[in-house]
């Protein structure tokens, strides 16, 4: 068992990246897209899950896409068109088609005939000492390989389940992963499930406990190791957003953001639509910043860089502004390279 502990997601991610780069306790394992360097059975402990953003990954991650994923998941959706708008490369990894087979949100809210998120909240509110609150994503009836050993889909869920415990007024969260790409998947998984942990703690009136993340196969593809982590490390700005709304209001806001994102993608490139939604404010600063940055990215995709920067400047969260700046600089470099300059 490999144990990596730290106060922030960026801290433990950097340590794991160094382990893999130095081949410390690693194996060579063939993956679906080539050879990987793998750490078996790695347990991460993040002491403060509000510090959920990985800044030192190379290349820089797109914070707007990570936030769009959170909205997609919490709305219980599995339609590929919604999320592909904010990441057109996603079908390369999860397959083509109108829906994503392993969509976490649909499985959490609809797949098993119960809204697991609501049920978990109501169960812990009624009985905080329960050891039976589990959010299940893996479905053995449809996710195990076919008898010839071949996967049933490109999009078999990597997340298996979440284990929720209330102890001494703190909400503790354990996430179980069967497979975890440290570079492409891990930073997004942490954002997704620590955000849900933060929301759940607020609904229950609890303090935010530790976030435990178990990766049974933590890996990086060999051809991606050379460009993996920033050196020297970049100091991460604070995350000042907190999801502190009650359950019903949270879900109303999440649904509203989803509707606004639908309007933007259904009117792709319409700057008036993007601007109107990008200037909408919620009672929650976290919600406002989420929508603002998502709209900024929609403007960028429409080649309206001035509007993108204008909307991004409305974001009041220092770490999101820092992430956006790094992402914007990355895209500028990539576009210059594509032009041969």
Write down the domain spans for the chain. Answer: 2-66+79-224, 247-338
The answer, yes or no, to whether residue 339 has pLDDT greater than 80, is no
What length does the chain have? 341
Picking from 248, 264, 253, 263, the residue whose alpha carbon sits closest to that of residue 297 is: 264
Picking from 337, 325, 319, the residue whose alpha carbon sits closest to that of residue 297 is: 325
**The token pair that represents 177 in the structure block:** 């992963």
Neighbours of 64 (CB within 10 A): 26
pTM for this model (two decimals):
0.96
Rg (the chain; Cα; Å): 19
pLDDT digits (tens, 9 = 90+) for 1-12: 999 999 999 999
How confident is the model at residue 95, as a pLDDT? 76
Distance separating alpha carbons of residues 94 and 120, to the nearest angstrom: 28
pLDDT digits (tens, 9 = 90+) for 209-249: 999 999 999 999 999 998 999 999 999 999 999 999 999 99
Q: Is 211 left (phi over 0), alpha (psi -120 to 50) or beta?
A: beta
H-run or E-run covering 323: helix 318-338
How confident is the model at residue 215, as a pLDDT? 98
Region 322-341: mean pLDDT is: 76
Task: Please name the residue that has the structure tokens 């081949």.
Answer: 23
Per DSSP, the three-state class of 234 is coil
Contact criterion met (CB below 8 Å) for 287 and 307: no
**pLDDT exceeding 70 applies to what percent of the chain?**
98
Distance separating alpha carbons of residues 289 and 172, to the nearest angstrom: 26
Mean pLDDT of the chain: 94
Strand partners for 159: 177
pLDDT digits (tens, 9 = 90+) for 102-137: 999 999 999 999 999 999 999 999 999 999 999 999
Contact criterion met (CB below 8 Å) for 337 and 258: no
How confident is the model at residue 341, as a pLDDT? 35
Task: Please name the residue that has the structure tokens 């609890």.
Answer: 206
Distance separating alpha carbons of residues 136 and 146, to the nearest angstrom: 21
Region 163-191: mean pLDDT is: 97
How confident is the model at residue 338, as a pLDDT? 52
Least confident of 19-33, 202-216, 285-299, 316-330: 19-33
Neighbours of 251 (CB within 10 A): 18
Distance separating alpha carbons of residues 250 and 248, to the nearest angstrom: 5
DSSP assignment of 42-91 equals: EEEEES-TT-----SBSSPP-HHHHHHHHHHHHTT--BHHHHHTT-TTHH
What are the phi and psi torsion angles at 130 (to 5°)? -60, 140
* CA angle (55, 56, 61) in 5-degree steps: 55
The CATH fold assigned to 2-66+79-224 is: Thymidylate Synthase; Chain A (3.30.572)
Contact criterion met (CB below 8 Å) for 87 and 62: yes
Distance separating alpha carbons of residues 213 and 55, to the nearest angstrom: 18
The answer, yes or no, to whether residue 37 has pLDDT greater than 90, is yes
Region 53-63: mean pLDDT is: 96
Q: How confident is the model at residue 337 (pLDDT cuts 50, 70, 90)?
A: low
DSSP structural state of residue 111:
I
Distance separating alpha carbons of residues 198 and 244, to the nearest angstrom: 8
The answer, yes or no, to whether residue 261 has pLDDT greater than 70, is yes
Q: How confident is the model at residue 92 (pLDDT cuts 50, 70, 90)?
A: confident
């Amino acid at each position: 068992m490999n144990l990596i502990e730290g106060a922030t997601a960026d801290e433990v991610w950097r340590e794991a990246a160094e382990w893999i780069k130095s081949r410390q306790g690693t194996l060579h394992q063939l993956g679906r897209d080539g050879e990987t360097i793998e750490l078996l059975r790695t347990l991460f402990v993040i002491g403060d899950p509000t510090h959920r953003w990985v800044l030192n990954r190379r290349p820089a991650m797109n914070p707007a896409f990570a936030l769009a994923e959170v909205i997609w998941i919490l709305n219980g959706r599995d339609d590929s068109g919604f999320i592909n708008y904010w990441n057109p490369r996603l079908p390369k990894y999860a397959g083509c088609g109108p829906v994503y087979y392993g969509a976490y949100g649909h499985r959490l809210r609809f797949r098993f005939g119960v809204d697991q998120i609501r049920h978990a909240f109501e169960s812990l509110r009624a009985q905080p000492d329960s050891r039976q609150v589990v959010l299940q994503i893996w479905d053995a009836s449809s996710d195990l390989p076919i008898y010839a050993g071949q996967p049933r889909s490109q999009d078999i869920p990597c997340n298996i389940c979440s284990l929720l415990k209330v102890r001494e007024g703190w909400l503790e969260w354990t996430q179980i992963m069967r497979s975890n790409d440290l570079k492409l998947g891990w930073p997004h998984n942490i954002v997704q499930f620590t955000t849900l942990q933060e929301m759940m703690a607020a609904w229950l009136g609890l303090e935010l406990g530790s976030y435990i993340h178990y990766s049974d196969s933590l890996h990086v593809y060999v051809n991606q190791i050379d460009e993996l982590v920033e050196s020297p490390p970049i100091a991460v700005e604070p995350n000042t957003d907190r999801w502190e709304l009650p359950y019903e209001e949270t879900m109303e806001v999440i649904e509203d953001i989803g509707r606004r994102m639908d309007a933007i993608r259904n009117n792709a490139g319409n700057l008036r639509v993007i601007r109107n939604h990008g200037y909408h404010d919620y009672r929650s600063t976290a919600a406002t910043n989420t929508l603002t940055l998502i709209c900024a990215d929609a403007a960028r995709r429409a080649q309206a860089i001035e509007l993108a920067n204008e909307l991004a400047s409305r974001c009041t969260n220092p770490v999101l502004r820092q992430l956006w700046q790094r992402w914007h600089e990355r895209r500028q470099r990539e576009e210059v390279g594509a032009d041969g300059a």
